[in-house]
Amino acid sequence: MMICSLRSQSVRPLHGSEFVSGSKSLIPTKRSSLLPPLPARKISRQLTLSLSRPLHISSVESFGSSGTSARKDDGLIKCEAYEADRSEAAASAAGSDVAKRVKIGIYFATWWALNVVFNIYNKKVLNAYPYPWLTSTLSLATGSLMMLISWATRIAETPKTDFEFWKTLFPVAVAHTIGHVAATVSMSKVAVSFTHIIKSGEPAFSVLVSRFLLGETFPASVYLSLVPIIGGCALAAVTELNFNMIGFMGAMISNLAFVFRNIFSKRGMKGKSVSGMNYYACLSMLSLVILTPFAIAVEGPQMWAAGFQKALSDIGPQIVWWMAAQSVFYHLYNQVSYMSLDEISPLTFSIGNTMKRISVIVSSIIIFHTPVQPVNALGAAIAVLGTFLYSQAKQ
């Protein structure tokens, strides 16, 4: 513990952690919430403090009305402080790093698990009730409702948005809607694993769009990593036993749409104070508004009602639970993925997304007994490996 004296020429509020290590003259900049307000008459004077080591302020006399020091009037403030302990600081930095890693690990594990469950229920519903436009709409509607309830009951903080926010969100929502419907249409026509193998080609779309539409350039290693991605996807597609053109094109369109969604999101989220969770909630709501008229036009209530009667007689009332599960899990996995995007770089996010596809591909093959030829599995493995090489090349 050491004692030092501050000559109060201009007393500005100070905070120990705001001092710069090694600086000879330390002038704090921000108001600490830990310190009481200063007497108004001292505000205009200058503070100087000479130190050679960083200090943590432990007590300050004459700050605030309760100060008892007799030296208030001669301009001196007695301040007790102790030298900052470097090992203490390093340990707390390492501790917060570990805590952050654990938090991201939990986000990733939750995101993948929720996504696997969503994909399973989504496919079960689509097998029994093949109306992808309606099921896509229901997932957005359920998510929107969940978030409205969370805001109303103050489980989640209501975001402060303005017209500008919704205007910037619009292109993101258009791309999200297209990508979501296209992926669901794809899964209604082909195996879940096949949709996700094609969707693992998303980095290739990202590079091609960035290169040819935005004029961005990349190192040669990035372009080279596209060879296994595209080659692997192509090999998996031509050897797919249940190949279907709509299923294939749906996954391809979804890839393209999500690349645009990510580009627009990045621009739209810059400088915005809306959290990842609320950003996704607003995205769901706007996408729901965009999608509903199209869903009615493409499929419509008559087809939905007739299809529902059939599904009910084939599956029983359980179909309702499956639909509820696919909708709730769709919202939850997206919400968690946007929450993790708040914490990590887009690159780490895309690596996480690829890992997610591996878990979805493997679990759906096991659960739905999807027939897989060795050469087909090889194509999928090459595509996924290419995505890893891509993420390494982009670092």
Contacts to ligand 3PG by CB under 6 A: 179-180, 183-184, 199, 258
Which C-beta is closer to ligand 3PG: that of 124 or that of 180?
A: 180
**What is the nearest approach in angstroms of ligand 3PG to the Cβ of residue 258?**
6
Q: 355 near 140, Cβ under 8 Å?
A: no
Tokens read off for 394: 């982009």
CA separation for the pair 174, 287 (Å, rounded)? 7
Q: 47 near 9, Cβ under 8 Å?
A: yes
**What is the nearest approach in angstroms of ligand 3PG to the Cβ of residue 295?**
14
Which C-beta is closer to ligand 3PG: that of 199 or that of 394?
A: 199
CA separation for the pair 354, 361 (Å, rounded)? 11
Which C-beta is closer to ligand 3PG: that of 179 or that of 201?
A: 179
CA separation for the pair 391, 270 (Å, rounded)? 23
Which C-beta is closer to ligand 3PG: that of 8 or that of 326?
A: 326
Neighbours of 113 (CB within 10 A): 17
CA separation for the pair 2, 343 (Å, rounded)? 39
Which C-beta is closer to ligand 3PG: that of 42 or that of 199?
A: 199
**What is the nearest approach in angstroms of ligand 3PG to the Cβ of residue 359?**
11
**What is the nearest approach in angstroms of ligand 3PG to the Cβ of residue 270?**
22
Which C-beta is closer to ligand 3PG: that of 175 or that of 311?
A: 175
Q: Transcribe 126-170 into DSSP letters.
A: HHHS--HHHHHHHHHHHHHHHHHHHHHTTSSPPP---HHHHHHHH
For residue 32, the SS3 value is coil
Tokens read off for 274: 């809306």
Angle at 99 between CA 98 and CA 102, to 5 degrees: 85
Side chain identity, residue 241: L
% helix / strand / coil in the chain, to the nearest 5? 70, 5, 25
**What is the nearest approach in angstroms of ligand 3PG to the Cβ of residue 372?**
20
Select from 154, 170, 125, 142 the least CA-distant residue to 312.
125
**What is the nearest approach in angstroms of ligand 3PG to the Cβ of residue 177?**
9
Which C-beta is closer to ligand 3PG: that of 179 or that of 379?
A: 179
**What is the nearest approach in angstroms of ligand 3PG to the Cβ of residue 239?**
22
Q: 319 near 312, Cβ under 8 Å?
A: yes
